[in-house]
Amino acid sequence: MTLYSKIIGTGSYLPEKRVTNQELTEQLAAKGIETSDEWIVSRSGISARHYAEPEQKSSDLAVHAARRALDMAGLQPDDIDLIVVASSTPDFFGSFPSTACIVQRKLGMSNNCAAVDVQAVCSGFVYAVATADSFIKSGAHKKVLVIGAEVFSRILNFDDRGTCVLFGDGAGAIILGASAEPGILATKLHADGRHADILSVPGSVAGGAVAGSAFLYMDGPAVFKLAVSVLEKVAHEALEQAGMSADQLDWLIPHQANIRIMNSTAKKLGLPLEKMVVTVDQHGNTSAASIPLALDIAVRDGRIKKGDNVMMEGVGGGFTWGAVLVRM
């Protein structure tokens, strides 16, 4: 029997602390940095973002999202035999130990299932899904918890209005289960390390201290130009792999980074904007968490239904990009 992987549960979580553009503008003004709600919305489409409390880590947000996905799937934590966590803001330096292992512990799992982190920045969730899909199709695992979780507020330079207004914290999760019925129809991943410098946290740990900068750096125009060019191409590659065309898509869920990039991608694919799930306005760019956050919201509000064809695609530092075509 041919094995496929299928999404059987989704979940998401946003920290309670919600910061609107107006509130952030007032905080920045106190530091002599000028911005406005209109400036932020016109450039990104973002109206608010959520910040984790000082004691909250990526694993804490991940566990909330995971429990909701498990509840939807009707599963217990010990039913899971692999955890894959995508995060650029792991609980410990160098993901050592992995955030996936911390999530396993916090879920109270006793079955010693495998657990691993994946790092592809904002493309991380797509990379994690592709990884989990391969494990299931190989027969090695049957039920995989895939999570994107971030606390980007910890790496933001609040003296840089070009980046600090864009990012937020959150987590999203799915459960992939082995199935005789196709679910993940195609995956396509890419990377080009020649562009590593345009989006990075250019620091490292040496002698117990940070060498370089521990803040996020982004060359906005360069990222925008590259993102627009690769997202359309990778979506078509995934469609071609599945033997489908764009007009067969019911929904597009791009990485929730910038509404202008998202709108451009939809238009290039010939999709009406009504077929694109947009949540970036409410939580900003949550990196690896953004796609599963948007997916869960659209599943729970009834937009995405069983049998729908959904294209999920992301682009992020590395430079990385990829797409996953799913039949729900």
Looking at 181, 210, 243, the residue that finishes a domain is 181
Do 51 and 171 sit in the same domain of this protein? yes
> Mean pLDDT across the stretch 241-254?
97
User: Is residue 106 very low, low, confident or very high in pLDDT (cuts 50, 70, 90)?
Assistant: very high
Shared domain for 118 and 256, answered yes or no, is: no
92 has a pLDDT exceeding 80: yes
38 and 167 fall within a common domain: yes
- Do 208 and 322 share a domain, yes or no? yes
Lookup: tokens for 254: 């791009």
Q: What is the pLDDT of residue 1?
A: 75
Average pLDDT over residues 98-118: 97
Residues 19 and 156 reside in one and the same domain:
yes
Q: Say whether both 152 and 65 belong to one domain.
A: yes
Q: Are residues 171 and 224 in the same domain?
A: no
The pLDDT tens digits for 119-178 are: 999 999 999 999 999 999 999 999 999 999 999 999 999 999 999 999 999 999 999 999
Last residue of one domain, picked from the residues 181, 207, 235: 181
φ and ψ at residue 30, rounded to 5 degrees? -65, -20
Q: Check if the beta carbon of residue 19 is closer than 8 Å to that of residue 49.
A: yes
More confident residue, 52 or 211: 52
Q: Is there a single domain that holds both residue 168 and residue 228?
A: no
What is residue 186's three-state secondary structure?
strand
Q: Where residue 177 sits, what CATH number does that domain have? A: 3.40.47.10
Assess whether 278 and 147 both reside in one domain: no
How many Å apart are CA 42 and CA 94, to the nearest integer?
Answer: 36
Tell me the average pLDDT across 247-255. Answer: 97
- What is the pLDDT at residue 302? 97
Is the same domain home to 127 and 203?
no
> Which residue, chain included where needed, has tokens 């992301």?
314
Query: Does 189 share its domain with 144?
Result: no
| Domain end among 181, 203, 226 | 181
Across the range 109-119, mean pLDDT stands at 96
Amino acid at 74: G
- In this structure, the answer to whether residues 38 and 102 fall within a common structural domain is yes
State the catalytic residues.
122, 255, 285
Q: What is the pLDDT of residue 312?
A: 98
pLDDT at residue 212 tops 90: no
**What is the count of structural domains for the chain?**
2
What one-letter code names the amino acid at 70?
Answer: L
Contacts of 123 (CB under 8 A, 6+ apart): 189, 255, 288, 314, 315, 316, 318, 320, 321, 322
Band (pLDDT 50/70/90 cuts) for residue 39 is very high
47 in helix, strand or coil? coil
Instruction: For residue 156, give Cα distances in angstroms to 20, 167, 199.
Output: 16, 8, 13
Q: 1 versus 247: which is more confidently predicted?
A: 247
pLDDT in tens, 272-303: 999 999 999 999 999 999 999 999 999 999 99
Q: What percent of the chain has pLDDT over 90?
A: 95
pLDDT for residue 99 is more than 90:
yes
- 3-state helix, strand, coil split of the chain in percent (to 5) is 40, 30, 30
CA separation, residue 191 to residues 211, 225, 231, 234 (Å): 26, 16, 12, 11
Give yes or no for a contact between 51 and 264, defined as CB atoms under 8 angstroms apart: no
Rounded to the nearest integer, the mean pLDDT of the chain is 96
Q: Give the confidence band of 205 by pLDDT, cuts at 50, 70, 90.
A: confident
Structure tokens at 88: 């650029």
Lowest mean pLDDT among 90-94, 131-135, 318-322: 90-94
Say how far apart CA 44 and CA 227 lie, in whole Å: 14
pLDDT at 94: 82
Query: What is the reported pLDDT for 256?
Result: 98
Judged against a pLDDT cut of 90, whether residue 93 lies above it is answered with no
Q: What is the pLDDT of residue 322?
A: 98
Residue type at 96 in one-letter notation: F
Angle of CA points 68, 69, 70, to nearest 5°: 90
* Buried/exposed code over 13-38 (b: 16+ C-beta within 10 A; e: otherwise): bbbeeebebeebbeebeeeeeebebe
Q: Which residues contact 105 (CB under 8 A, 6 or more apart)?
A: none
Give the pLDDT confidence score for residue 169 in this predicted structure.
98
Residue range(s) defining the domain that contains residue 304: 185-327
